[in-house]
Amino acid sequence: MNKRTKQKELTKQNIFDTAMCLFLRRGFIEVTTAEIAKEAGVAHGTVFVHFPTREDLVLAVIDSELATAQQRIDRLLNKSSDFLTLASSYLDYLAEHEDFHALLARELPFYKPELRNRIIFRQALIQMQFTDLLKEEPNATYIAQYLFGMTHYYLSMREAFSTEGSVIQRFKDSMMVTMKTMMGGFGQ
Amino acid sequence: MNKRTKQKELTKQNIFDTAMCLFLRRGFIEVTTAEIAKEAGVAHGTVFVHFPTREDLVLAVIDSELATAQQRIDRLLNKSSDFLTLASSYLDYLAEHEDFHALLARELPFYKPELRNRIIFRQALIQMQFTDLLKEEPNATYIAQYLFGMTHYYLSMREAFSTEGSVIQRFKDSMMVTMKTMMGGFGQ
DNA sequence: GTATTCGCTGAGTATGCGCTCAATGACAAT
DNA sequence: ATTGTCATTGAGCGCATACTCAGCGAATAC
């Protein structure tokens, strides 16, 4: 491969990595293209050589993160056969990737409808797979809604809780207890 | 009172009312001062005669809405003695003022820390009063967290659910059933 | 009736953003 | 060695926004 072509790919990767790092730390809305360029050590214009618009860069990062997330969750779904185990693993996964998911929870309402719907669609798919695992349970929908609703709530409120470490980890036990209760409690 | 002074107050009130209307419909972030001026039928500069900065105007509207909310909730708290009745009235109240509360749920993470903390503090106070009503209940905290967490979730996801009418109303029954179960279910 | 005050005006300023493009020079092709 | 290509540069454009201020004219003070 050309030295020039190789350098070009390196530069693109550098911009992409820098952008991802900044976006995950401070959000897709706040970080500017000038800042990404400066942090990556390239000229402002170079960003637009590799990503024609800012939105293209945002989409590239989001797509990459979503793909990783999807893989991880598919693995969880294949491994776990009962709902509570799956829920527990899912919470661990969220805690591990909390930056990205807190970001989505906060900023999702401000994304362009097309992107927002794509993200919501993915989350709805995951939610359905969880609900499937609850099919013997008469109130599967309530329990799944609880899991996704409360995690969304804790994630979007992360700053307010001002916890050291993960909010999801902090509230995991309380959520697990509640879901256990809900599974036994209905219809009695 | 002076005709001049009276006119001044009228203009200020006009700007305030127009701003409130626009803010509640489209959010505190999106609406511009130029738009408020145009909609109110005054010059752009006039806005800044009465509210030195845009933020002052935003704060005035938020304070006014929060004060109204506080009054309404205090009335609810005085009227209801058991938790489930209170929760039901609270959900009705939220459904009625859904525009404002959905707005807060969406935009809160983007407000300046000082304002954000003030709003969160008020909500924490209300949450505590709810928890107090649950003091015989061993898992009061979980149930209150459920109520406030899930309402926050539904409010912030309002656009995604794309419901005609109120999201809170739509999910009220499911939330009430769940809380009833949680109250009976723990420790069994 | 005249002078003064002051609410209001709207063109203009400062700032910050995404994005452009002529110029540059290292690399590739011959 | 010469010429052509193209990744990179960074000053600058267009636009949007919050905010300013000299000036106007109606209300007020005398």
Q: Which of A156-160, B56-60, B160-164 has the highest mean pLDDT?
A: B56-60
pLDDT at A85: 92
Contacts 24+ apart (CB under 8 A), A49-56: A50/A8, A50/A11, A50/A12, A50/A15, A50/A16, A51/A15, A55/A112
d(CA A92, CA A96): 6
Cβ atoms of residues A82 and A132 within 8 Å: no
B140 residue type, one letter: A
Asked if the C-beta of B146 comes within 8 angstroms of chain A's C-beta atoms, the answer is: yes
Query: Are residues A158 and A98 in contact, defined by beta-carbon separation less than 8 angstroms?
Result: yes
Chain A residues inside the 8 Å CB shell of B154: 149
A16 CA: distance to closest CA in chain B (Å): 25
In this structure, how many other beta carbons lie within 10 angstroms of the beta carbon of residue A93? 17
Return the pLDDT at B164: 83
Separation CA B90–CA B98 (nearest Å): 12
Which token pair is B182? 């949680």
CB contact under 8 A, A174 and B145: yes
pLDDT range class, residue A95, cuts 50, 70, 90: very high
Question: Tell me, what's the pLDDT at A187?
Answer: 45
Q: pLDDT for B99-110, tens place per residue?
A: 999 999 999 999
pLDDT band at A185 (very low <50, low <70, confident <90, very high): low
Q: Give the confidence band of A46 by pLDDT, cuts at 50, 70, 90.
A: very high
pTM above 0.95, yes or no: no
Interchain contact A178–B (C-beta under 8 A): yes
Tokens 């402002």, located at residue: A44
Q: What's the full length of chain B, in residues?
A: 188
Per-residue flag: A4 CB under 7 A of strand D: yes
